[in-house]
A = this chain, B = another copy of it.
């Protein structure tokens, strides 16, 4: 059902989108406290199964919600509950980065993205589960649609909490596919911005030359609103589409690892979008772009292994085997020259990408290999996102499909750097056509 047709009075407060909450609070139809209570009550019911939260203190939430009701409108996110991946610092909650090394750790200050959300009147509900240091070793979170399946990672709790209507908005991060993949597995919108746009101060760095924030929501309008808040820009509605979009269907060299059912969903979507009037062409990346996967590996590993020198030198035994023998081993074995060559190669590909898109507004591609896999010991394959992450381009996953088991499957839309707002507007159109 298109969101515009929703009748807020008929749905529970915890299912409101951020945009709907802002409107309802401003109109006096709901208080910040009533919204917060609705979310907390839903969490009480569902958290034992979903396990999305690393830290959540209901009393603290209610105190802050009441303060928002007393203060009057503080900004464009007034009264909107949001979750923050526990890789991000908060001044009044523990921040443990998914690692026992930081058990009970209390940072002095809020990360920039947290302070911007709070400054805009947002209500920080708590910290959502992350994998260990936003890498591969999973946390406790389960997929809200099937507790036997992973929610994806590393922004596991953020995606699950939004999908389960515990909060309308959450922040994750992405260094490979850590926002797009869990959003796809959980059936919500996920947005990775153009690299460099949104400040990462106070976010535990994995690989600075690849890391971005990632925004997760249940509507594109909410993504656009949250992005404006995090830019400290006055929110503007997304532009109306200037005609139907021109879409490049881009399978990439990783198409063989995409499950056949998901391949079919994407093929069908491309046809359907063409039927609805979009100009759809096939876009093939140059063969050497395959090497972006390897470049990503060396860039991310080299930087990670140096960023975590303190932990490696002082807390080796508290780092998981998977992390030690994966990212850290790779990174410590990677000489600077190999790193620099990978970085230079990535930069060259970034410069070429604009031309590769031709006259397409965006590319349509896979968000993940398929539905969330069964099992909680892996967060799934992030490769379908690694190319776009390394290219520094913005991308969105939209909850367009159901897979063979009835579970969500996302479609990823990718645009040129700096085209974030046009991408979000076009993604809204695509979502409307496909659902």
Looking at the complex, which one of B196, B306, B314 makes contact with A199 (CB distance below 8 Å)?
B306
Which single residue of chain B is at the shortest CB-CB distance from A309?
B115
Q: Does residue A254 face the partner (Cβ distance < 8 Å to B)?
A: no
Asked if A15 is at the interface (CB within 8 A of a chain B CB), the reply is no
- Give every chain B residue within 8 A of A209 (Cβ-Cβ): 196
Inter-chain CA distance A343–B197, complex, in Å, is 10
Interchain residue pairs A-B with the least CB separation, the first 9:
A115-B309, A115-B310, A201-B307, A110-B310, A109-B310, A201-B205, A199-B306, A231-B336, A119-B313
A118 within 8 A of B: yes
Give me 18 A-to-B residue pairs in the complex whose CB atoms sit less than 8 angstroms apart, sorted by A's number. Answer: A102-B108, A109-B310, A110-B310, A112-B306, A112-B307, A112-B309, A112-B310, A114-B310, A115-B310, A115-B313, A196-B208, A199-B208, A199-B303, A199-B307, A201-B205, A201-B208, A231-B336, A232-B309
Number of copies: 2
Interface centre among A109, A119, A314, A351 (most CB of B within 10 A): A109
A233 near B: Cβ within 8 Å? yes
- Nearest Cβ on chain B to A101's Cβ, whole angstroms: 8
Partner of A335 from the list B112, B233, B332 (CB cut-off 8 Å) is B233
> Which A residues fall within an 8 A CB radius of B?
91, 102, 105, 107-112, 114-116, 118-119, 196-197, 199-202, 205, 208-209, 231-233, 303, 305-311, 313-314, 332, 335-336, 340, 343-344, 351, 418
A402 CB to nearest B CB, Å: 37
A423 to chain B minimum Cβ distance, whole angstroms, is: 15
**A309-B116 contact in complex given A196-B209, A205-B201, A232-B332, C-beta closer than 8 Å:** yes
Chain B residues in 8 Å Cβ range of A418 = 340, 344
Q: How far is the CA of A285 from the CA of B273 in the complex (A)?
A: 49
On whether the beta carbons of A306 and B232 are closer than 8 Å, the reply is yes
Asked if residues A306 and B196 are in contact (CB atoms below 8 Å), the reply is: no
A102: B residues at CB distance < 8 A:
108
Q: A102-B108, A231-B306 are in contact. List 9 more A-B contacts (CB 8 A).
A: A105-B108, A110-B309, A112-B306, A116-B309, A197-B340, A199-B303, A201-B308, A233-B335, A340-B418
Q: Which residues of B contact A309 (CB under 8 A)?
A: 110, 112, 115-116, 119, 232
Which residues of B have CB within 8 Å of A336?
A: 231, 233
Query: Once the chains bind, are B306 and A91 in contact (CB under 8 Å)?
Result: no
- Smallest distance from the beta carbon of A351 to chain B beta carbons, Å? 7
A231 to B331, CA, bound (A): 11
Complex: how many Å from CA A117 to CA B307?
A: 13
